[in-house]
Structure 1
């Protein structure tokens, strides 16, 4: 019988691992249930079961830890996030490249890979790049790339580089990161039409925690911010928006390669026909929803940056 993932069991694992019981809200639960319902229709290879379950438990555990930390320091939720920069676009159009370039400005504050993965306690400005958690993650990364050098072809990251909002919006189980875990059309369709308010409210809470002792003007990136610009602007009305552009054939081909690797990793199988249809559909959704936002908020509300 195929592995069946049970939400209550994974939640209990996260609670036991952290010694914490309380979530700030249950807004994550609908997305978690739909995601696991889709996953349970597939056959997850034995080698991927622990990896997939571990990712879910880690997201839940970090939400528990963030909730507890903000309960200890509630004044952080009153601190503003002013004029954050959001980089987005059709996937594989250079959002990482631009985000890393912007992060070279010392006046900017980017969420770094290590602090997203291990956010409590949040770092200080002095320890952003030399916290023991960062150094341990750098060593783990070195070992991973030595074992699987092909990973570097698709996604160039580092413990001390800026990373995507997707990895903490995942705590609300409303991101395309979860959809990349396999052939999950029900989760995808739900995600593309659901109200994303709770995900962006949680996004803001998480940043307010990270900036507790390491403030700055936030530099943020996630291609799929493109899908929810009206909700983003509801939570961050003074946000500065940047749309990255690249040849669509090149970008979509790269997108297919990235998701192919993800499907192979988490489901052990790649349905190329589905993947081709899904990547084209998602790329189209990204582009059309940005154009819809431009029609709604004005042409000049979004800055264009070309890959070349």
Structure 2
């Protein structure tokens, strides 16, 4: 468990006293959160009230399950307020003007796959393509420009600085910077049906609820965000990635019918254990009571469901346009893999792109081999148990079994 710096421990210790004050600073009441979002945005129309159920489930789960520290409450509260603010801005944007871009013209590259299966590396290499646009962390966290001064980039930098303080091992596992391309799953947040909240805090009840929901509304909002981004710089091709799309590839394809979808593949044992290790670090920033066995079981269930649903969706498509990429191939020869993807997606692997990829690989500040260690037993799991949960997936991709 991370031992936080003394000022952080003192602030966390003051939480009970702070919560007795008549302030909204630490409140996770849905009504107070909504009122705070309205006041900050100077807007009051959220559109359809379908987000309210998810908000209620999330905040109830935070109170019952998460055992949040004072800073943890602030972090989750800010995540929720950011989602509500985006929802208000979505409705304001919808009233004032239609989205300019034509959905039929959006042809993004979208990467999905189990977390820790090479999605981040592949995303950043493809985003180096001349004429490509990988959405930066500060953009996906707050995707619509607010009224007045735009402080989104500065807010993202402060947020990541706090994360470095609270979870010092996180950057060694997944490097994040405000201006670097980042996962697009945050674009689902305003629906209040988003797995991104599970990354922020151990909201087990919310995760269980989330897995049973129809997430069509979230993907409709996701599509609208991409339409706006495309309208801003129509000449650029969006390059996106989020492992959570593996849970809903049918909805992804419905939202973006002309997308090139890429799925990465890796031994599920490595993926589950590495994801658990990353989540333990992340959730250790917001609670002093990370339940490793419970975390491990929850992620095993989430990820095995995702692959099963993904394989079911893909098997039902008349034509399966997904480009499959094995982690081992990507690590062994990233230039060849990038070139093959571009050829299949109708792009040329230009000399400039190749130069950028080579430079990135030479200077990649990713953690050195062996610095991120993880085992099934760290989360009260067994390797054979994980493989059993992914039986159908491993039958579909037997090469993964051969390399275990």
TM over 0.5: same fold? yes
* Counterpart selection for 1:10 from 16, 33, 52: 33
Could you tell me whether the CA contact under 8 Å between 1:69 and 1:121 is conserved in 2? no
Residue pairs, 1:1-308, within 5 angstroms: 5-42=28-65, 43-76=67-100, 78=102, 80-121=104-145, 136=154, 140=158, 143-144=161-162, 147=165, 149-215=168-234, 216-298=236-318, 300-308=320-328
Tell me which of the two structures has the higher relative contact order, counting C-alpha pairs closer than 8 angstroms and 6 or more residues apart.
Answer: 1
Report deviation, 1:134.
7.2
**CA–CA distance in 2 between the matches of 1:28 and 1:164?**
22
Report deviation, 1:248.
2.0
Could you tell me whether the CA contact under 8 Å between 2:106 and 2:227 is conserved in 1? no
**Change beyond 3 A, Cα 1:81–1:117:** farther
Report deviation, 1:217.
2.2
Instruction: Show CA shifts across 1:101-138 (max 9, x none).
Output: 1101122222221222343439xxxxxxxx98576468
Instruction: Show CA shifts across 1:134-193 (max 9, x none).
Output: 764686478557645422112212222221121121111112111234443332222122
**CA–CA distance in 2 between the matches of 1:78 and 1:286?**
30
Q: Specify the SS of the correspondent of 2:64.
A: coil
**CA–CA distance in 2 between the matches of 1:113 and 1:146?**
15
| Count of residue pairs brought into register by the alignment | 300
Q: Normalising by structure 1, what TM-score?
A: 0.87
CA RMSD of the aligned region, Å?
2.6
Q: Normalising by structure 2, what TM-score?
A: 0.68
**CA–CA distance in 1 between the matches of 2:156 and 2:219?**
29
**Change beyond 3 A, Cα 1:288–1:63:** same
Could you tell me whether the CA contact under 8 Å between 2:75 and 2:286 is conserved in 1? yes
Of residues 71-80 and 61-70 in structure 1, the stretch that sits farther from structure 2 once superposed is 71-80
**CA–CA distance in 2 between the matches of 1:277 and 1:159?**
31
Instruction: Show CA shifts across 1:37-71 (max 9, x none).
Output: 21121332223221111111111112212322343
Gaps of 5+ in 2: 1-15, 20-25, 329-404
Could you tell me whether the CA contact under 8 Å between 2:137 and 2:156 is conserved in 1? no
**Change beyond 3 A, Cα 1:259–1:22:** same
Tell me which structure has the larger Cα radius of gyration. 2
Report deviation, 1:91.
1.5
